[in-house]
Amino acid sequence: MKFYILTILPGYFEGPFREGVLGKAVQRGDVKIEIVNIRDFADDPHRTVDDTPYGGGEGMVLKPEPVVKAIESVRNNEKKQRVIAMTPAGRLLNHAIVRELSEFEEIIIVCGRYEGIDERVLEYFCDDLISIGDYVLTGGEPAAVVLIDAVSRFVPGVVGNRKCVEEDSFSRGLLDYPQWTRPAVFRGIPVPEVLLSGNHKEIRKWRMMKAIERTLKRRPEIIREDLLTEEEREILKHLKVRLGK
């Protein structure tokens, strides 16, 4: 899978794709990243990429010409491509969108800066506008890193254990159960006894209960009853009564 990142801050991406699971995937070539400097497509001597907004108002807007030229420089009809603009005015990124995007061969990501991107670029040259949450960042660059990280997990070979990907919390509509590791008592705080019992049937049931309980408490809106097993639905029913939900 290949990602093109169109940005006016190419240096921003020097770190994130060198580290960890994603860094290894890039080294192996399972994930390819190409940074495209939008400023290289400015045609004046000052390499101007922004201008004041028509109608007045705060800040600067990314000019259409350099951004569109940058998009066109990586467009390829032979590949299954998607052009995505990162903007807080986009649709909110979630598990379903991440999965959908992982089906493309190449994703071209346009990172916004200043007060925004000329609307004609978004409307006529992008397929999709994506936001990573209801807060404003100084630019689309950190959001692009988030998107690439999440999509890359679905690229075969990137995450060693497929089960971890297929069964992640958001495909099931349940948060993960909590985890502990040694020592059994840390600063006076013990690990729940059932986990030390060696009773795997009990442990499985307890974890299921914990996962449903924390989802009900923190993220009740993500629960998909249709995706739960009979056993999980039963636990959910009991917990709802107990928690008064």
Contacts with ligand 6GU, residue ranges (CB under 6 A): 86-88, 112, 131-133, 135-137, 139-140, 143
Nearest approach, Cβ of residue 150 and ligand 6GU (Å): 13
The single residue of 30, 65, 149, 168 carrying the catalytic annotation is: 168
26/132 with CB nearer ligand 6GU: 132
- Helices then strands, counting H and E runs in the chain, come out as 9, 10
Minimum Å gap between C-beta 243 and ligand 6GU is: 31
**Least Å distance between CB 48 and ligand 6GU?**
21
Q: Is 88 a catalytic residue?
A: yes
CA atoms within 13 A on the CB side of 86: 27
Residue type, 223: I
Q: How far is the CB of 232 from ligand 6GU (least distance, A)?
A: 32
> C-alpha distances in angstroms, 4 versus 105, 111, 182, 231?
11, 11, 42, 44
Give the integer Cα–Cα distance in Å for 57 and 232: 53
Q: Is 115 a catalytic residue?
A: yes
Contact between 200 and 207 under an 8 Å Cβ cutoff? The reply is no
Active site residue 166: no
Q: Which of 115, 128, 149, 176 is catalytic?
A: 115
Q: Catalytic residue among 16, 88, 106, 113, which?
A: 88
Smallest CA-to-CA distance from 147 within 191, 105, 101 is with 101
- Indicate the residue among 10 and 214 with the shorter CB distance to ligand 6GU: 10
